[in-house]
Structure 1
């Protein structure tokens, strides 16, 4: 477990209140207790022995969206998100983890079973869900446990990794370039068009694509829930596997903000008390990138898109995933790539969290997630754009559901899907 000095963090808070207006949960549940300075005050009291880690405290700490808005504006750079992630591990140890979360994390630890489970689920999906092809999603035909009437992602019979060979050769043999793709669970099993689009872009760039078939989940869902043993296992499996091919590729590119932030920021931090693994992770990180960052800085894709002289007739608005903009500092790159062929209309606050929040907020505390999502859709609607884009499938699932709930006719598309569409449009 990552150990934090909660009291030190609490004492470092100057109570300036800059975090309050930016806090996702506070904006829809205005209670000082569930605000960044409220969270860290309670954690300080807990470490001093003045607060019991009971079910009431559990309820409070599970309301945080971990959007990192507070850390982004804090003058003392207090790691509010990290201390909450840590106390959630203590909560998990004390109270256990709900059965459906344990089942999900078991699948994450066993990819062969997840492959089989998603394939089987896709067979029965038409019985329970109606298809929404425009959104690459499905909607329940009637209320279902945990899901209710929410729009849900497609269940594919064949995943992205199962749809392609491990090696796809595209490059000039005299000057070969080769990258590995870490696809992420949602893009692998559900929104497979993301991976298809990335493969098309790499073909255009004449770069070989290596799809490591033994890659595991990055561990983010378990990490945000407090299941640290699962996180430890998944990190070590991935690191060992990455080491087997890292010298043979130019980069490992990831088309998902959450996976990228988990690997680039949280893996090394998580292993702070396991120096050997921390060092092994550090040796990998220089070659790991979120897709838009790598495509913008390491290829001539922007020049190719500008040379198309194609202006798509669809206006788009761009939503900044919390893990892309605030954690990785990536927000200009996708806009530059998209702006070459699309008209971009900015929201009043593109940086506002969409409200996905992780497994707990999507299930046990969905009422809060729903309110945040609806607020974000109002911003999207005000732009008049026909498409909202974000480099994150969790944001996609959240916003697609909120847009459907509010009956707003706006489509969601990943930046890679839009870029691939522009490349095809040149005729």
Structure 2
């Protein structure tokens, strides 16, 4: 099954039909993180499917107890990767959450998890508005470099609020890459970074929302590595959040609106690929072709798909999704490596495989292939790669108890690995794991494979 195989609509009938494809064989149970933690059938994939089917069929109520088990799902989609009947669990869980969040509540009940006014404001007024995220960057840099961060952490003013969980994950905030000899007064990335040396093609870079603030090192490294290989990198300024956060919380309207904006931002560029450095974003981008038009918009489904109205042309959403590639996957097939020399690295690198990369994109092998280019490096998979780290977007905020258990197991595996570096391809996983390692005083560095490649190219001094 591929993301493009999924239907674009979702209704009670389609939910029931998809749920009925589950034969309750139980092969998914040992792969489900929440089932391993709670040992509750209701927190397993087949248990949740039974609950969804029961609610859709009117046999059980859509109440708070139902919502508890649905909300506990990490949407890691490990169950999809092992299901012999290819049940599309991602579609089921997202569609169910959309029903739970719907003001009309087609099945009745009060199940929407209340959010603070600050949380709602951030999701609607910051996450999907890149210019506002860019405005936060100098403020956070001042916060860290002025000593305010250390003072706040020592003061304990944040107490046990969710803000303390967010603040603890905050890495060092860097500046967007500026071309040598140039100045970037906009506070964000430049629209185009020309290739150096022999031109080999043009690609687009997707920045995301959280990553453009907290994973700048990876985005900068991606640009310089691609440039060195001969690829011109386009960074459309109109791009925005991928919409995964909204999609997984049931806000399909906002997710579709963000998708439409990103498709439009990259439209018209002659690109070989649209590069994603965060596998969680990569999944969402790759599944744009299955999203419905924004429910609140005036456009019809036909208009959503027709886009530029070119008869016989590939649908814009499918054309966009077909070009989406994880940076490691692209670099694994990229040209230009013959002229590149990487410095040796006599250390062990453990590779963490994010759920989105492993279970949906099926691209974990590319990370190993990319890191294998580093002479002398000892590369090995992290034990327990088939289990989620507990970050899962905002899951660590919404379900801190389960997330803490999963993180504990992951940190134990990292400490037992004997590695100096932990390479991971998703910003959420990196921040989640790195914060726990920092708190424990560990010297193990968490970074993206492409960042390590840039270091061994000796190009990070330019960033």
What is the TM-score normalised by the length of structure 1? Answer: 0.88
User: Which residue in the other structure is 1:85 paired with?
Assistant: 94
Q: Is 1:116–2:135 an aligned residue pair?
A: yes
CA–CA separation in structure 1 for the residues paired with 2:18 and 2:87: 7
Q: Is 1:162–2:187 an aligned residue pair?
A: yes
Task: Compute the displacement of 1:297 (Å).
Answer: 1.3
- Alpha-carbon contact 1:2-1:270 (below 8 Å) kept: no
CA–CA separation in structure 2 for the residues paired with 1:235 and 1:140: 41
- Alpha-carbon contact 1:128-1:142 (below 8 Å) kept: no
Map 1:59-74 → 2, pairs under 5 A: 59-74=68-83
User: Which residue in the other structure is 1:129 paired with?
Assistant: 149
Map 1:9-48 → 2, pairs under 5 A: 9-48=18-57
The answer to which of 345-354 and 250-259 deviates more is 345-354
- Alpha-carbon contact 2:134-2:188 (below 8 Å) kept: no
User: Which residue in the other structure is 2:318 paired with?
Assistant: 282
CA–CA separation in structure 2 for the residues paired with 1:201 and 1:157: 18
User: Which residue in the other structure is 1:346 paired with?
Assistant: 381
Q: Give 2:409's match in structure 1, choosing from 375, 390, 395.
A: 375
SS at match of 1:181: strand
Task: Compute the displacement of 1:31 (Å).
Answer: 0.8
Cα–Cα, structure 1 residues 362 and 167, in superposed 2: closer, same or farther, change >3 Å?
Answer: same
User: Which residue in the other structure is 1:3 paired with?
Assistant: 11
CA–CA separation in structure 1 for the residues paired with 2:323 and 2:16: 37
Per-residue deviation, residues 54-109 of structure 1 (Å, max 9, x unmatched): 12222211100000111111111111222111111122224375134322221123
Q: CA RMSD in A?
A: 2.7
Q: Give 2:156's match in structure 1, choosing from 129, 142, 152.
A: 142
CA–CA separation in structure 1 for the residues paired with 2:90 and 2:154: 34
Cα–Cα, structure 1 residues 340 and 105, in superposed 2: closer, same or farther, change >3 Å?
Answer: same
Q: Is 1:151–2:151 an aligned residue pair?
A: no
Cα–Cα, structure 1 residues 63 and 420, in superposed 2: closer, same or farther, change >3 Å?
Answer: same
User: Which residue in the other structure is 1:257 paired with?
Assistant: 279
SS at match of 2:350: strand
The answer to which of 206-215 and 8-17 deviates more is 8-17
SS at match of 1:108: coil
Q: Give 1:388's match in structure 2, choosing from 422, 430, 442.
A: 422
SS at match of 2:187: helix
Cα–Cα, structure 1 residues 218 and 426, in superposed 2: closer, same or farther, change >3 Å?
Answer: closer
SS at match of 2:27: coil
- Alpha-carbon contact 1:128-1:141 (below 8 Å) kept: no
Per-residue deviation, residues 157-212 of structure 1 (Å, max 9, x unmatched): 85568354222222457x55222211222331112111221122123212222221
The answer to which of 62-71 and 111-120 deviates more is 111-120
User: Which residue in the other structure is 1:222 paired with?
Assistant: 246
The answer to which of 348-357 and 15-24 deviates more is 348-357
CA–CA separation in structure 2 for the residues paired with 1:381 and 1:96: 36
Cα–Cα, structure 1 residues 399 and 85, in superposed 2: closer, same or farther, change >3 Å?
Answer: same
CA–CA separation in structure 2 for the residues paired with 1:367 and 1:351: 20
- Alpha-carbon contact 2:280-2:357 (below 8 Å) kept: yes
User: Which residue in the other structure is 1:135 paired with?
Assistant: none
Q: Give 2:231's match in structure 1, choosing from 194, 200, 207.
A: 207
CA–CA separation in structure 1 for the residues paired with 2:206 and 2:459: 27
What is the TM-score normalised by the length of structure 2? Answer: 0.82
Where does the alignment leave 5 or more consecutive residues of structure 1 unmatched? 132-137
How many residues of Structure 1 are paired with residues of Structure 2 in the alignment?
A: 413
SS at match of 2:162: coil
